[in-house]
Chains A and B, each alone.
Chain A
Amino acid sequence: MTDQDKILIMSYLDNELDASEISSVESLIANDSEAQAYLNQLKITNIEVDAFFNSEDMKQLDTSISKFVDDLKAKETVSTFQLGELISNFFFSKQLVTYSLTAMVFLSAGLFYNDGTIDELMMEKESLAFDLNPTVYEKQIFKTRGLSSEIFDIKDLLTQTINEMVTEGSAEGNLTYGIKTYVIFLKEKTMQFRDGKGCYSGSILLQEEFTEIYFCKAKNDVSLTFID
Protein backbone atom coordinates (compact mmCIF):
# COMPACT_ATOMS: atom_id res chain seq x y z
CA MET A 1 0.00 0.00 0.00
CA THR A 2 1.44 3.35 -1.02
CA ASP A 3 1.28 6.69 0.81
CA GLN A 4 -1.14 7.84 -1.86
CA ASP A 5 -3.41 4.90 -1.02
CA LYS A 6 -3.33 5.91 2.64
CA ILE A 7 -4.30 9.45 1.77
CA LEU A 8 -7.14 8.18 -0.40
CA ILE A 9 -8.41 5.93 2.39
CA MET A 10 -8.30 8.81 4.87
CA SER A 11 -10.12 11.07 2.41
CA TYR A 12 -12.66 8.32 1.82
CA LEU A 13 -13.45 8.18 5.53
CA ASP A 14 -13.70 11.96 5.62
CA ASN A 15 -16.15 12.00 2.67
CA GLU A 16 -13.77 14.09 0.63
CA LEU A 17 -13.62 11.99 -2.54
CA ASP A 18 -15.53 12.18 -5.78
CA ALA A 19 -17.46 9.24 -7.21
CA SER A 20 -14.63 7.80 -9.29
CA GLU A 21 -12.18 7.98 -6.41
CA ILE A 22 -14.67 6.33 -4.09
CA SER A 23 -15.06 3.30 -6.33
CA SER A 24 -11.29 3.08 -6.67
CA VAL A 25 -10.78 3.14 -2.88
CA GLU A 26 -13.59 0.66 -2.25
CA SER A 27 -11.99 -1.67 -4.71
CA LEU A 28 -8.63 -1.27 -2.96
CA ILE A 29 -10.14 -1.99 0.44
CA ALA A 30 -12.00 -5.02 -0.86
CA ASN A 31 -8.89 -6.55 -2.39
CA ASP A 32 -6.11 -5.52 -0.03
CA SER A 33 -6.09 -6.71 3.59
CA GLU A 34 -3.43 -4.13 4.47
CA ALA A 35 -5.70 -1.35 3.18
CA GLN A 36 -8.60 -2.81 5.11
CA ALA A 37 -6.54 -2.84 8.31
CA TYR A 38 -5.45 0.71 7.68
CA LEU A 39 -9.07 1.76 7.23
CA ASN A 40 -9.99 0.22 10.58
CA GLN A 41 -7.03 1.83 12.32
CA LEU A 42 -8.06 5.20 10.95
CA LYS A 43 -11.63 4.67 12.11
CA ILE A 44 -10.41 4.01 15.66
CA THR A 45 -8.19 7.10 15.52
CA ASN A 46 -11.05 9.23 14.26
CA ILE A 47 -13.26 8.03 17.09
CA GLU A 48 -10.57 9.01 19.60
CA VAL A 49 -10.12 12.42 17.98
CA ASP A 50 -13.86 13.00 17.95
CA ALA A 51 -14.01 12.08 21.63
CA PHE A 52 -11.26 14.58 22.43
CA PHE A 53 -13.09 17.41 20.68
CA ASN A 54 -16.40 16.47 22.29
CA SER A 55 -15.06 16.01 25.80
CA GLU A 56 -16.47 17.56 28.96
CA ASP A 57 -13.69 20.15 28.76
CA MET A 58 -14.91 21.20 25.33
CA LYS A 59 -18.49 21.43 26.56
CA GLN A 60 -17.32 23.61 29.42
CA LEU A 61 -15.38 25.78 26.99
CA ASP A 62 -18.40 25.99 24.70
CA THR A 63 -20.59 27.20 27.56
CA SER A 64 -18.23 29.97 28.62
CA ILE A 65 -17.40 31.09 25.08
CA SER A 66 -21.06 31.09 24.08
CA LYS A 67 -21.86 33.39 26.96
CA PHE A 68 -18.93 35.63 26.09
CA VAL A 69 -19.96 35.80 22.43
CA ASP A 70 -23.58 36.52 23.33
CA ASP A 71 -22.52 39.38 25.58
CA LEU A 72 -20.16 40.70 22.94
CA LYS A 73 -22.81 40.39 20.27
CA ALA A 74 -25.34 42.33 22.34
CA LYS A 75 -22.81 45.02 23.09
CA GLU A 76 -21.46 45.27 19.55
CA THR A 77 -24.72 45.18 17.66
CA VAL A 78 -26.06 47.99 19.81
CA SER A 79 -22.97 50.12 20.08
CA THR A 80 -21.64 49.84 16.58
CA PHE A 81 -24.77 49.34 14.61
CA GLN A 82 -27.87 50.67 16.25
CA LEU A 83 -26.44 53.78 17.81
CA GLY A 84 -24.26 54.42 14.79
CA GLU A 85 -27.21 53.93 12.52
CA LEU A 86 -29.40 56.06 14.69
CA ILE A 87 -27.00 58.94 14.60
CA SER A 88 -26.02 58.60 10.95
CA ASN A 89 -29.62 58.26 9.81
CA PHE A 90 -30.54 61.17 11.95
CA PHE A 91 -27.85 63.38 10.52
CA PHE A 92 -27.78 62.31 6.91
CA SER A 93 -30.98 60.59 5.90
CA LYS A 94 -33.07 63.31 7.38
CA GLN A 95 -31.01 66.07 5.83
CA LEU A 96 -30.36 67.62 9.17
CA VAL A 97 -26.74 68.09 8.27
CA THR A 98 -26.53 71.46 9.87
CA TYR A 99 -27.38 70.03 13.19
CA SER A 100 -24.76 70.91 15.72
CA LEU A 101 -22.41 68.74 17.68
CA THR A 102 -24.27 69.85 20.75
CA ALA A 103 -27.34 68.23 19.37
CA MET A 104 -25.46 65.01 18.79
CA VAL A 105 -24.30 65.01 22.38
CA PHE A 106 -27.83 65.68 23.45
CA LEU A 107 -29.09 62.87 21.28
CA SER A 108 -26.56 60.36 22.55
CA ALA A 109 -27.10 61.40 26.13
CA GLY A 110 -30.81 61.32 25.65
CA LEU A 111 -30.70 57.84 24.25
CA PHE A 112 -28.66 56.48 27.09
CA TYR A 113 -30.77 58.29 29.60
CA ASN A 114 -33.73 56.31 28.39
CA ASP A 115 -34.28 54.25 31.52
CA GLY A 116 -30.60 53.42 31.57
CA THR A 117 -30.93 50.55 29.16
CA ILE A 118 -30.07 50.92 25.53
CA ASP A 119 -31.81 47.63 24.93
CA GLU A 120 -35.02 49.58 25.16
CA LEU A 121 -34.13 51.38 21.98
CA MET A 122 -34.97 50.36 18.48
CA MET A 123 -34.51 52.04 15.17
CA GLU A 124 -37.05 51.51 12.45
CA LYS A 125 -34.59 51.68 9.63
CA GLU A 126 -36.69 51.93 6.57
CA SER A 127 -39.87 53.85 7.11
CA LEU A 128 -41.28 55.27 10.27
CA ALA A 129 -45.01 55.71 10.26
CA PHE A 130 -45.97 59.19 11.34
CA ASP A 131 -48.18 58.44 14.31
CA LEU A 132 -49.70 61.86 15.00
CA ASN A 133 -53.05 63.11 13.77
CA PRO A 134 -53.74 66.37 11.92
CA THR A 135 -55.48 67.78 14.95
CA VAL A 136 -54.56 71.00 16.74
CA TYR A 137 -53.62 70.98 20.40
CA GLU A 138 -54.31 74.26 22.20
CA LYS A 139 -52.51 75.51 25.28
CA GLN A 140 -52.71 78.89 26.89
CA ILE A 141 -50.44 80.22 29.62
CA PHE A 142 -51.25 83.50 31.27
CA LYS A 143 -48.20 85.63 31.82
CA THR A 144 -48.24 86.99 35.32
CA ARG A 145 -45.77 88.93 37.37
CA GLY A 146 -45.90 86.31 40.09
CA LEU A 147 -42.77 84.46 41.16
CA SER A 148 -44.10 81.13 39.99
CA SER A 149 -44.18 82.25 36.36
CA GLU A 150 -40.52 83.17 36.51
CA ILE A 151 -39.43 79.56 36.83
CA PHE A 152 -40.62 78.83 33.32
CA ASP A 153 -38.79 80.00 30.30
CA ILE A 154 -40.28 79.73 26.89
CA LYS A 155 -38.28 76.64 25.99
CA ASP A 156 -39.64 74.80 28.98
CA LEU A 157 -43.15 75.79 28.00
CA LEU A 158 -42.63 74.69 24.43
CA THR A 159 -41.13 71.39 25.56
CA GLN A 160 -44.07 70.81 27.87
CA THR A 161 -46.55 71.73 25.13
CA ILE A 162 -44.97 69.48 22.52
CA ASN A 163 -44.85 66.66 25.03
CA GLU A 164 -48.56 67.08 25.60
CA MET A 165 -49.16 67.26 21.84
CA VAL A 166 -47.38 63.93 21.33
CA THR A 167 -49.26 62.40 24.22
CA GLU A 168 -52.54 63.60 22.73
CA GLY A 169 -51.46 62.50 19.26
CA SER A 170 -51.63 65.96 17.68
CA ALA A 171 -49.29 67.00 14.92
CA GLU A 172 -50.05 70.66 15.36
CA GLY A 173 -50.24 72.85 18.44
CA ASN A 174 -50.78 76.44 19.48
CA LEU A 175 -49.10 77.75 22.57
CA THR A 176 -50.38 81.12 23.64
CA TYR A 177 -48.09 82.73 26.17
CA GLY A 178 -49.13 86.22 27.10
CA ILE A 179 -49.68 88.08 23.87
CA LYS A 180 -47.52 85.75 21.78
CA THR A 181 -48.72 82.66 20.00
CA TYR A 182 -46.33 79.91 19.01
CA VAL A 183 -47.60 77.61 16.29
CA ILE A 184 -45.95 74.20 16.50
CA PHE A 185 -45.75 71.71 13.64
CA LEU A 186 -44.47 68.16 14.05
CA LYS A 187 -43.76 66.92 10.54
CA GLU A 188 -41.86 63.67 10.66
CA LYS A 189 -41.07 60.87 13.04
CA THR A 190 -37.36 60.28 12.71
CA MET A 191 -36.71 57.69 15.36
CA GLN A 192 -38.70 55.16 17.28
CA PHE A 193 -37.93 53.43 20.54
CA ARG A 194 -39.11 49.97 21.43
CA ASP A 195 -41.95 51.30 23.53
CA GLY A 196 -43.32 53.29 20.58
CA LYS A 197 -42.00 56.62 21.78
CA GLY A 198 -39.44 58.43 19.73
CA CYS A 199 -38.23 61.62 18.11
CA TYR A 200 -39.89 64.08 15.76
CA SER A 201 -38.65 66.86 13.58
CA GLY A 202 -40.75 69.92 13.00
CA SER A 203 -40.88 73.67 13.29
CA ILE A 204 -42.25 76.49 15.38
CA LEU A 205 -43.76 79.59 13.83
CA LEU A 206 -43.55 82.85 15.71
CA GLN A 207 -44.18 86.22 14.11
CA GLU A 208 -43.78 84.84 10.58
CA GLU A 209 -40.50 83.18 11.37
CA PHE A 210 -39.99 79.45 11.37
CA THR A 211 -37.54 77.75 13.70
CA GLU A 212 -36.64 74.16 13.01
CA ILE A 213 -36.89 71.88 16.04
CA TYR A 214 -36.11 68.35 17.06
CA PHE A 215 -38.11 66.79 19.85
CA CYS A 216 -37.49 63.46 21.60
CA LYS A 217 -39.76 61.72 24.03
CA ALA A 218 -38.33 58.73 25.88
CA LYS A 219 -39.76 56.76 28.74
CA ASN A 220 -38.46 59.05 31.43
CA ASP A 221 -37.20 62.07 29.59
CA VAL A 222 -38.13 64.63 26.98
CA SER A 223 -35.84 66.98 25.10
CA LEU A 224 -36.31 69.85 22.71
CA THR A 225 -33.54 71.19 20.51
CA PHE A 226 -33.64 74.27 18.35
CA ILE A 227 -31.74 73.61 15.15
CA ASP A 228 -31.40 77.12 13.89
Chain B
Amino acid sequence: MTNFQAMLFSKALQAKLMNIAMSKTFNVPDAEDLVQTTYVKAIERQDQFSGEIIDPWIVKILQNTFIDSTRKGKFTVPNTNKAQEKKRVKGEVSLGDDTPEYAVEDPSQAAMAERDLEMCMKELNEIEREVVAMKQTMSYKEIAVVLDIKAASLRVKLCRAKEKLMICMGVSND
Protein backbone atom coordinates (compact mmCIF):
# COMPACT_ATOMS: atom_id res chain seq x y z
CA MET B 1 0.00 0.00 0.00
CA THR B 2 1.35 3.41 -0.89
CA ASN B 3 1.71 6.23 1.62
CA PHE B 4 -1.13 8.05 -0.12
CA GLN B 5 -3.40 5.03 0.13
CA ALA B 6 -2.50 4.53 3.80
CA MET B 7 -3.57 8.10 4.55
CA LEU B 8 -6.62 7.98 2.30
CA PHE B 9 -8.02 4.76 3.70
CA SER B 10 -7.40 5.53 7.37
CA LYS B 11 -10.35 5.25 9.73
CA ALA B 12 -9.48 8.64 11.19
CA LEU B 13 -9.87 10.38 7.85
CA GLN B 14 -13.09 8.52 7.19
CA ALA B 15 -14.56 9.78 10.48
CA LYS B 16 -13.53 13.34 9.67
CA LEU B 17 -15.10 13.26 6.23
CA MET B 18 -18.30 11.70 7.52
CA ASN B 19 -18.74 14.34 10.21
CA ILE B 20 -18.12 17.19 7.80
CA ALA B 21 -20.42 15.67 5.19
CA MET B 22 -23.19 15.16 7.72
CA SER B 23 -22.82 18.73 8.95
CA LYS B 24 -23.45 19.88 5.38
CA THR B 25 -26.16 17.57 4.16
CA PHE B 26 -27.99 16.53 7.35
CA ASN B 27 -29.12 13.27 5.84
CA VAL B 28 -27.44 9.90 5.41
CA PRO B 29 -27.93 9.31 1.64
CA ASP B 30 -26.53 12.72 0.67
CA ALA B 31 -23.67 12.47 3.16
CA GLU B 32 -22.86 9.01 1.81
CA ASP B 33 -22.93 10.31 -1.73
CA LEU B 34 -20.73 13.25 -0.81
CA VAL B 35 -18.10 11.17 0.98
CA GLN B 36 -18.00 8.52 -1.72
CA THR B 37 -17.61 11.12 -4.45
CA THR B 38 -14.83 12.72 -2.42
CA TYR B 39 -12.93 9.44 -2.20
CA VAL B 40 -13.32 8.75 -5.90
CA LYS B 41 -12.12 12.25 -6.82
CA ALA B 42 -9.19 11.94 -4.44
CA ILE B 43 -8.08 8.78 -6.17
CA GLU B 44 -8.52 10.31 -9.59
CA ARG B 45 -6.46 13.32 -8.55
CA GLN B 46 -3.84 11.64 -6.40
CA ASP B 47 -1.12 12.87 -8.74
CA GLN B 48 -2.01 16.39 -7.63
CA PHE B 49 -1.43 15.61 -3.97
CA SER B 50 2.01 16.77 -2.96
CA GLY B 51 1.72 17.48 0.75
CA GLU B 52 2.50 15.40 3.76
CA ILE B 53 -0.92 15.77 5.34
CA ILE B 54 -3.89 14.63 3.34
CA ASP B 55 -6.62 16.26 5.44
CA PRO B 56 -6.56 19.82 4.03
CA TRP B 57 -6.38 18.53 0.47
CA ILE B 58 -9.23 16.08 0.74
CA VAL B 59 -11.45 18.36 2.83
CA LYS B 60 -11.09 20.91 0.05
CA ILE B 61 -12.26 18.28 -2.42
CA LEU B 62 -15.26 17.54 -0.22
CA GLN B 63 -16.09 21.23 0.15
CA ASN B 64 -15.88 21.84 -3.60
CA THR B 65 -17.87 18.71 -4.36
CA PHE B 66 -20.60 19.91 -2.03
CA ILE B 67 -20.66 23.35 -3.64
CA ASP B 68 -20.79 21.86 -7.16
CA SER B 69 -23.49 19.40 -6.23
CA THR B 70 -25.55 22.09 -4.54
CA ARG B 71 -25.32 24.29 -7.61
CA LYS B 72 -26.51 21.39 -9.71
CA GLY B 73 -29.40 20.89 -7.35
CA LYS B 74 -28.17 17.54 -6.14
CA PHE B 75 -28.06 18.62 -2.51
CA THR B 76 -30.22 21.10 -0.71
CA VAL B 77 -28.51 23.79 1.30
CA PRO B 78 -29.65 23.56 4.91
CA ASN B 79 -32.16 26.15 6.02
CA THR B 80 -29.64 28.63 7.28
CA ASN B 81 -30.03 32.20 8.30
CA LYS B 82 -30.13 33.32 4.70
CA ALA B 83 -29.73 37.04 5.31
CA GLN B 84 -26.71 36.54 7.50
CA GLU B 85 -25.18 34.05 5.09
CA LYS B 86 -25.74 36.43 2.16
CA LYS B 87 -23.97 39.21 4.05
CA ARG B 88 -21.11 36.87 4.85
CA VAL B 89 -20.69 35.82 1.26
CA LYS B 90 -20.67 39.45 0.19
CA GLY B 91 -18.02 40.14 2.79
CA GLU B 92 -20.21 42.50 4.76
CA VAL B 93 -19.80 40.41 7.86
CA SER B 94 -16.38 39.23 8.81
CA LEU B 95 -16.26 35.85 10.42
CA GLY B 96 -13.57 37.05 12.70
CA ASP B 97 -15.17 40.24 13.91
CA ASP B 98 -16.85 40.66 17.23
CA THR B 99 -20.24 41.86 16.11
CA PRO B 100 -22.95 39.90 17.85
CA GLU B 101 -24.15 38.26 14.66
CA TYR B 102 -25.05 35.19 16.62
CA ALA B 103 -27.83 36.95 18.43
CA VAL B 104 -30.77 34.95 17.16
CA GLU B 105 -33.14 37.15 15.23
CA ASP B 106 -36.24 35.65 16.68
CA PRO B 107 -36.01 35.86 20.51
CA SER B 108 -38.53 33.10 20.87
CA GLN B 109 -35.98 30.70 19.46
CA ALA B 110 -33.91 31.01 22.60
CA ALA B 111 -36.81 29.78 24.67
CA MET B 112 -37.31 26.65 22.60
CA ALA B 113 -35.43 24.34 24.92
CA GLU B 114 -36.69 21.27 23.13
CA ARG B 115 -35.44 22.30 19.75
CA ASP B 116 -33.10 19.62 18.64
CA LEU B 117 -29.53 20.15 17.69
CA GLU B 118 -29.98 19.39 14.04
CA MET B 119 -32.28 22.34 13.59
CA CYS B 120 -29.86 24.49 15.54
CA MET B 121 -26.92 23.32 13.46
CA LYS B 122 -28.81 24.52 10.41
CA GLU B 123 -28.86 27.97 11.94
CA LEU B 124 -25.08 28.10 11.78
CA ASN B 125 -23.27 29.31 8.72
CA GLU B 126 -21.21 26.97 6.60
CA ILE B 127 -17.87 27.50 8.30
CA GLU B 128 -19.36 27.31 11.78
CA ARG B 129 -20.94 23.96 10.98
CA GLU B 130 -17.60 22.77 9.65
CA VAL B 131 -15.63 23.75 12.74
CA VAL B 132 -18.19 22.15 15.04
CA ALA B 133 -18.07 18.95 12.97
CA MET B 134 -14.29 18.95 12.76
CA LYS B 135 -13.93 19.46 16.50
CA GLN B 136 -15.41 16.01 17.01
CA THR B 137 -12.32 14.33 15.59
CA MET B 138 -9.65 17.00 15.32
CA SER B 139 -7.62 19.31 17.52
CA TYR B 140 -7.78 23.09 17.16
CA LYS B 141 -4.38 23.00 15.51
CA GLU B 142 -5.48 20.41 12.96
CA ILE B 143 -8.67 22.29 12.15
CA ALA B 144 -6.73 25.54 11.70
CA VAL B 145 -4.40 23.78 9.25
CA VAL B 146 -7.25 22.21 7.31
CA LEU B 147 -9.16 25.48 7.02
CA ASP B 148 -5.98 27.48 6.55
CA ILE B 149 -6.83 29.96 9.27
CA LYS B 150 -5.06 31.11 12.41
CA ALA B 151 -5.65 29.20 15.63
CA ALA B 152 -6.95 32.34 17.31
CA SER B 153 -9.47 32.88 14.54
CA LEU B 154 -10.56 29.26 14.79
CA ARG B 155 -11.24 29.66 18.51
CA VAL B 156 -13.41 32.69 17.84
CA LYS B 157 -15.41 30.87 15.19
CA LEU B 158 -15.87 27.78 17.31
CA CYS B 159 -16.87 29.78 20.37
CA ARG B 160 -19.35 31.76 18.30
CA ALA B 161 -20.82 28.56 16.87
CA LYS B 162 -21.18 27.05 20.32
CA GLU B 163 -22.87 30.18 21.63
CA LYS B 164 -25.32 30.12 18.74
CA LEU B 165 -26.14 26.51 19.56
CA MET B 166 -26.50 27.30 23.26
CA ILE B 167 -28.95 30.06 22.51
CA CYS B 168 -30.83 28.11 19.88
CA MET B 169 -31.28 25.12 22.16
CA GLY B 170 -32.30 27.29 25.04
CA VAL B 171 -29.29 26.33 27.11
CA SER B 172 -28.39 30.00 27.40
CA ASN B 173 -30.69 32.98 27.39
CA ASP B 174 -27.99 35.51 26.54
Contacts and interface: CB of A to CB of B under 8 A. Distances in A.
Given A7-B159, A61-B28, A69 B166 contact: no
Interface string A52-92: 11000110111011101100110011001100000000000
A49 interface: yes
B171 A66 contact: no
A163 interface: no
Contacts of A3: 98, 156, 159
Interface string A13-25: 0101000000000
A44 interface: yes
B117 A66 contact: no
A45 interface: yes
A6 B163 CA distance: 9
A41 interface: yes
A118 to B, nearest CB: 15
Contact of B9 (A51, A58, A69): A69
Contacts of B39: 68-69, 72
B32 A45 contact: no
B31 interface: yes
A contacts with B: majority SS: helix
Contacts, number: 100
Interface string B1-32: 11001000100001101110110000110011
A53 B133 contact: yes
A69 B140 contact: no
A11 B18 contact: no
B162 A51 contact: no
B74 interface: no
Interface of A: 3, 6-7, 10-11, 14, 16, 38, 41-42, 44-46, 48-53, 57-58, 60-62, 64-66, 68-69, 72-73, 76-77, 80-81
Interface of B: 1-2, 5, 9, 14-15, 17-19, 21-22, 27-28, 31-32, 35-36, 39-40, 43, 98, 117-118, 121, 132-133, 135-136, 139-140, 155-156, 158-159, 162-163, 165-166, 169, 171-172
7 contacts: A3-B156, A10-B155, A45-B166, A57-B27, A60-B28, A69-B14, A73-B9
Given A61-B35, A68-B35, A73-B5, 8 more contacts: A10-B155, A10-B162, A48-B117, A48-B165, A61-B18, A65-B17, A68-B39, A69-B39
